[in-house]
Amino acid sequence: MKVIAVNAGSSSLKFQLLQMPEEIELASGIVERIGKSDAIFQMKFNGEKHKLVLEILNHKDAADIVIKNLLDYGVIKDLKEINGVGHRIVQGGETFKDSVLVTDEVIKQISDLSDLAPLHNPANVTGILSFKEVLNEVPHVAVFDTTFHQTMEPINYLYATPYEWYENHKVRKYGFHGTSHQYVSHRAAEILNNPKAKIVVAHIGNGASLSAVKDLKSVNTSMGLTPLDGLPMGTRSGAIDPAILGYIAKKENMSLEEVLEALNKKSGYLGVSGLSNDSRDLEEAIKQGHERAKLAIDLQVKSIVNYIAQYYVELGGLDAICFTAGIGENASDFREQIVEKLAPLGVILDKEANKLRGERLISTPESKVKVFIIPTNEEVMIARDVLRVGFQA
């Protein structure tokens, strides 16, 4: 059967069509600049890339364009070949402990969680409604970024803020990138042949988070109420002293929203280096001796090392550390910097293996903790849940 995984943002829509249960990617792509007369549709199929620039006014039009192109390029011959749709939803709050079949009630609940994810959940709902119009006779399943972390205990999800903030407004740590942390940790446990393994997943892309996983369950993670918390990222600051908000608002005569925008969009790699949010640009600049580019990377490396050391203690030791996502999978110098700093934990990098790509062990046989590169695959995780939840007997 064929399943389409959909990830709708405010002005973009990513999709991947998979052959299931074989987990084979048939086609993938993105619609960008939704709402504009020069929107962009791009699709990869059969090793070829296709690109169109056209007017796409809303998400419903974007969904139509995706289906039309899947048909036009012969990826599918008939709409009926698509048996299910999986939707990536950012915030499931405490409402959703697992992926669910989409119903009118579920759509309302996802909408009701928009206060906690104002940039994401409304766009996710628009994606659901658009694809439901186009593919209305097949199961739609909502897969949340947060559910994998719902196994955290209060000691790891509560902030030491007034308890009423939690009771009345659900202020707590939720964690994100859950499908990725789940996919990678479960794959590591499979490689280790140990479902009880103690694992740290370092998902380091433009957004970045770490998780501590034991018995295939998330015990702790670095992101918080929102994806702003945790380590410094491409454009996000990660955790800072919250008093900075009020201080800078006053000094720079900015509103709280403007300060938050700067912490989300003008901080991290971009903010510290003053150059770019892209790790490849920073790597180039470092070669030219750019001090602040080095500092931007060093700040993130230090934070990652601190989280790994913390999780080592929390889990009572570690069986494996897994690197994943754009930077984690590709940036070998970056991984080397991190693993070298973990020497006190007995972690030893195999420098030759670390230069390679793809799923592999990159620690030496003597290393007390195994280190892996495990490419993430959030779409496969979503498609698996469409099968598991959408086709229950």
Residues that bind ligand AMP (CB under 6 A): 205-207, 234, 278-280, 325-327, 330-331
Annotated binding-site residue? 204? yes
Minimum separation from the CB atom of position 87 to ligand AMP (A): 20
Given 72, 112, 145, 298, the catalytic residue: 145
Q: Which is nearer to ligand AMP, 135 or 272 (CB)?
A: 272
**Residue 268 vs residues 46, 161, 206, 264: alpha-carbon distances, Å:** 37, 25, 10, 8
Of residues 156 and 206, the one with the C-beta less far from ligand AMP = 206
Nearer to ligand AMP, 122 or 375 (CB): 375
Per the annotation, does 280 bind a ligand? Answer: yes
- In the bound state with ligand AMP, the residue whose beta carbon lies nearer, of 109 and 330, is 330
**Residue 326 is labelled as binding a ligand:** yes
Torsion of CA 353, 320, 324, 126, to 10 degrees: 160
Nearer to ligand AMP, 25 or 61 (CB): 25
User: Least Å distance between CB 330 and ligand AMP?
Assistant: 3
- 264: annotated binding-site residue? no
CB contact set of 103 (below 8 Å; sequence gap of 6+): none
199 is in an annotated binding site: no
Least Cβ distance, residue 283 to ligand AMP (angstroms): 7
**Closer by beta carbon to ligand AMP, 66 or else 327:** 327
**Distances from the Cα of 103 to the Cαs of 69, 106, 136, 276, 338, in angstroms?**
27, 5, 12, 42, 44
Give the nearest distance from C-beta 370 to ligand AMP in angstroms.
Answer: 22
12 is in an annotated binding site: no
Nearest distance in Å: CB 327, ligand AMP: 4
**Phi, psi at residue 351, to the nearest 5°?**
-65, -30
Q: Is 384 annotated as a binding residue?
A: no
Longest dimension (CA), the chain: 61
The answer to whether 279 is a known ligand-binding residue is: yes
**Ramachandran category for residue 230: left, alpha or beta (phi over 0 → left; psi -120 to 50 → alpha):** left
How many angstroms separate the Cα of 186 from the Cα of each of 109, 150, 367?
Answer: 29, 16, 21
**C-alpha span between 52 and 46 (Å, rounded):** 17
> Is 346 known to sit in a ligand binding site?
no
* Residue nearest ligand AMP, Cβ-based: 326
Q: In the complex with ligand AMP, which residue's Cβ is closer, 17 or 331?
A: 331
Q: Give me the least distance between CB of 231 and ligand AMP, in Å please.
A: 13
Minimum distance from residue 321 beta carbon to ligand AMP (Å): 18
Read off the tokens for 200: 């740290």
Active-site residue flag, 319: no
Binding site feature residues for Mg(2+): 7, 378
Q: Which residues are catalytically annotated?
A: 145
Binding site feature residues for substrate: 88
Binding site feature residues: 7, 14, 88, 203-207, 278-280, 326-330, 378
Binding site feature residues for ATP: 14, 203-207, 278-280, 326-330
